[in-house]
Amino acid sequence: MSSGTDHPSTAILAVDTGGTFTDLLLLASGVLTTLKVPSTPKDPADAVLAGSAQLLKGETGHRLLHGSTVATNGLLERNGARVLLVTNRGFEDVLEIGRQNRPQLYALVGHRPPPLVAREDRVGIGGRLGPEGQEIQPLDAEELLGLTARVSDADSLAVVLLHSYANPKHEEAVAKALQELGLPLSVSSRLLPEYREYERTSTTAVNAYVSPIMSRYLGRLDQESGAEPVHIMASNGGAVPVERAIREPVHTVLSGPAGGVVGALDWARRAGFDQIVTFDMGGTSTDVSLCPGRPLHTREFEIAGQPVAVPVIDIHTVGAGGGSLARVDAGGALRVGPESAGADPGPIAYGQGGRELTVTDAHVWLRRLPTEAFLGGEGELDRSIISGPLEDLAGKLSKTPEDAAEGILSVANTAMERALRVTSVERGFDPADFVIVAFGGAGALHVAELADRLGAPRALVPPDPGLLSAYGMLAAPPTREVSRTLLISSSEPEQESRLAEAFEALESQAVEEMVSEGNDPESLAVRHWLDARYQGQSFELRVTWEGWVEAFHLAHEERYGYSRPEAPVEAVTLRAVAEAPPLPLSPSPLQKAEGNPPVEKSTAYFDGNEIEVGRVWRKDLMHGHTIAGPAIVLEYSSTTWLPPGWLLEVDAWGSLLLTKE
């Protein structure tokens, strides 16, 4: 895919590590070059460095933008560091007490995953601050001197003291006493200066838990990649320097999926749409996100049962991907996922020793994923070795192999449809008003049938859909968000001056940190937000600072169906978000089509029958080409399945617009 000429001369490499493949995009001299290499689960850096070497051919001095799943996998697999938590005496069990939320609503005896910090690894100390930051009890100097001996066998340290959001004095004193150990140190007042001690404690513990593995991983990339600088995709849709990602890895827990949302919205706007639902189906999972004109953010986020209160793009994930395993359960029902074949051994058709059927194998058997077109024809899949395992599964279901394969796809579609409904219908949005943007290696194989189930009349498949998350990292702006809890009521006579003073300090901090990371201060845009609530409420809504009281009443009316204009509104947490301009990506438009596209005839299975389908390579499609289903569009990073009754049109930028006839 060729790009415009308004790009910086330095080559930029964007890398997204997935469960099955690691995707690489190289932007050099205005041209994008793509590459997919198998992921290396034992050490993801191996795939990143090998793919980089293949694309760069020994050149150095490039910029690296990276979306990492290392922190996410560390939490999911529980293979992080041994963390010792230093907190106030008497509050060592905050992580276990948590909230009143019940993970299993109807279970007589519910269960939560164990906390990341074991009970014996929580160290209570004296000293106490009040909610306004006033010192109630000073720290014990002798206790601080002996603190290093109590925590010396840790891999990583977390410091969380009461009300440090109002006054970080005590936490900084503890951090100073611990720094001589040279261990990774996570301090809550630096990481999340906000109230709600459980969420602040959990977020700091998560950061400490993944800090050593992220430090090793990102440190290796920083040293061996030859890149300068290295930026990491953050969960909020912005990019952060590698030094900050090493220091605050909790901001990378949704790194790759966030890049996909940014990239999908960028291509959708280019095609004339800004009301979209992103649908990212990879090898192990599917991520969906609603974007009513912009990405939605949330701070009510959990991963592996651990609350993380940093800003993230609101993404819903289900365990359904191309590598999801199919099986018949004890009750005779067909199940698909969440277990995955991953990169090793992968689906049976990959010929790498896989023995269990996957969603990808079902597509190969139904000939919707042609064996000779894998990775743009560079690889080849083996359909014949699927036969035995599929016949065994079909026998258990009393079905033909073709019906069993379509059943696998139907079950996977049901799981993904549920996720799409959670993000749209359950929030009061009609899918008919949105365009579903499909990407990931497998998204375009499923999007038409899912759109049909949802009643969404259109879907969009951007160029290089299997590498869109990496593209999103190129399109993501560098950002920095800083926050502070400061309880101020709208009924206070000097509330506006207090808010202005606090926002001025937050803006200065955000701008200073962005400038220290190499951004031009004249190019920065700063937005001011605050989390507000009616006095007495437990949770807040995020609104803009300008006209914040009226904005909150409107937001409350929209969310809950009523407002109380006569009631005072409380500003709880203030936020300043500084943003630098993204890279000026300008893809070149396609040539206008002359004549019909070069479609070849083939066959595939649909609805239990073998039918004739058209097959075309995406590189042969021009602006204005149209194709009626059933058809298959082949390309390097993905495959698009167009069922009967659907029409495909190619827009000026090479995106495929799918509509129901």
> Tens of pLDDT along 542-590?
999 999 999 999 999 988 889 999 999 999 999 999 999 988 787 888 9
Both 259 and 352 in one domain: the answer is no
348 has pLDDT over 50: yes
Query: Which among 513, 547, 579 is the end of a domain?
Result: 579
Quick one: tokens of 334?
A: 């067909």
Q: 2 falls in which pLDDT band (50, 70, 90)?
A: very low
Mean pLDDT of 407-426: 93
Considering the chain, what percentage of its residues have pLDDT values greater than 90?
63
Question: Which pLDDT score is estimated for 217?
Answer: 92
- Give the residue, 186 or 428, on which the prediction is more confident: 186
Measured CA to CA, the distance from residue 398 to residue 527 in angstroms comes to: 60
**Which residues, at least 6 apart from 56, have a Cβ–Cβ distance to it below 8 Å?**
11, 13, 26, 62, 226
- Give the residue, 377 or 93, on which the prediction is more confident: 93
Q: 172 falls in which pLDDT band (50, 70, 90)?
A: very high
Question: Which pLDDT score is estimated for 71?
Answer: 86
Chain centroid, CA 474 distance in Å: 15
Both 529 and 557 in one domain: the answer is yes
Q: 42 falls in which pLDDT band (50, 70, 90)?
A: confident
Q: 346 falls in which pLDDT band (50, 70, 90)?
A: confident
Both 296 and 420 in one domain: the answer is yes
In a domain, 190, yes or no: yes
Mean pLDDT of 462-469: 91
Measured CA to CA, the distance from residue 521 to residue 510 in angstroms comes to: 11
In a domain, 263, yes or no: yes
Q: Give pLDDT tens digits for 55-84.
A: 988 777 788 999 887 888 788 778 889 999
Mean pLDDT of 137-153: 92
Mean pLDDT of 298-321: 85
Question: Which pLDDT score is estimated for 3?
Answer: 39
Collapsing DSSP to helix, strand or coil, 108 comes out as coil
Supply the CATH number for residue 309's domain: 3.30.420.40
Contact at 8 Å (CB) between 408 and 326? yes
Both 450 and 485 in one domain: the answer is no
* Cis ω before 345 (30° cut-off from 0): yes
Q: 30 falls in which pLDDT band (50, 70, 90)?
A: confident
**Boundaries of domain holding 31:** 12-75+215-252
Asked whether the CA dihedral 193, 196, 198, 202 is positive or negative, the reply is negative
In a domain, 2, yes or no: no
Contact at 8 Å (CB) between 52 and 24? yes
Q: 658 falls in which pLDDT band (50, 70, 90)?
A: very high
Nearest to 188 by CA among 313, 312, 309, 311: 309
In a domain, 45, yes or no: yes
Measured CA to CA, the distance from residue 629 to residue 648 in angstroms comes to: 8
Query: Which among 383, 406, 429 is the end of a domain?
Result: 406
Question: Which pLDDT score is estimated for 6?
Answer: 42
Contact at 8 Å (CB) between 349 and 336? no
Query: Which among 406, 423, 444 is the end of a domain?
Result: 406
Tell me the residue type at 158: A
Nearest to 652 by CA among 272, 317, 304: 272
124 has pLDDT over 60: yes
Contact at 8 Å (CB) between 371 and 380? yes
7 has pLDDT over 70: no
Question: Which pLDDT score is estimated for 318?
Answer: 84
Asked whether the CA dihedral 418, 420, 423, 424 is positive or negative, the reply is negative
Q: Where are the alpha helices (DSSP H) in 429-565?
A: 443-454, 468-475, 495-516, 548-560
Chain centroid, CA 552 distance in Å: 28
Both 206 and 112 in one domain: the answer is yes
Measured CA to CA, the distance from residue 2 to residue 4 in angstroms comes to: 7
Measured CA to CA, the distance from residue 66 to residue 64 in angstroms comes to: 6
Both 471 and 492 in one domain: the answer is no
**Which residues, at least 6 apart from 450, have a Cβ–Cβ distance to it below 8 Å?**
279, 413, 416, 417, 420, 436
Both 301 and 429 in one domain: the answer is yes
Q: Say how many domains are in the chain.
A: 6
208 has pLDDT over 90: yes
Question: Which pLDDT score is estimated for 239?
Answer: 85
Q: 1 falls in which pLDDT band (50, 70, 90)?
A: very low
The 10 Å Cβ neighbour count of residue 550 is: 13
Cα–Cα–Cα angle for 82, 159, 250, rounded to 5 degrees = 65
pTM metric for this prediction: 0.86
Q: 8 falls in which pLDDT band (50, 70, 90)?
A: very low
Question: Which pLDDT score is estimated for 129?
Answer: 95
Q: How many residues does the structure list for the chain? A: 661
Measured CA to CA, the distance from residue 377 to residue 370 in angstroms comes to: 10
Measured CA to CA, the distance from residue 579 to residue 570 in angstroms comes to: 27
- Give the residue, 377 or 639, on which the prediction is more confident: 639
Q: Longest C-alpha distance within the chain, in Å?
A: 85
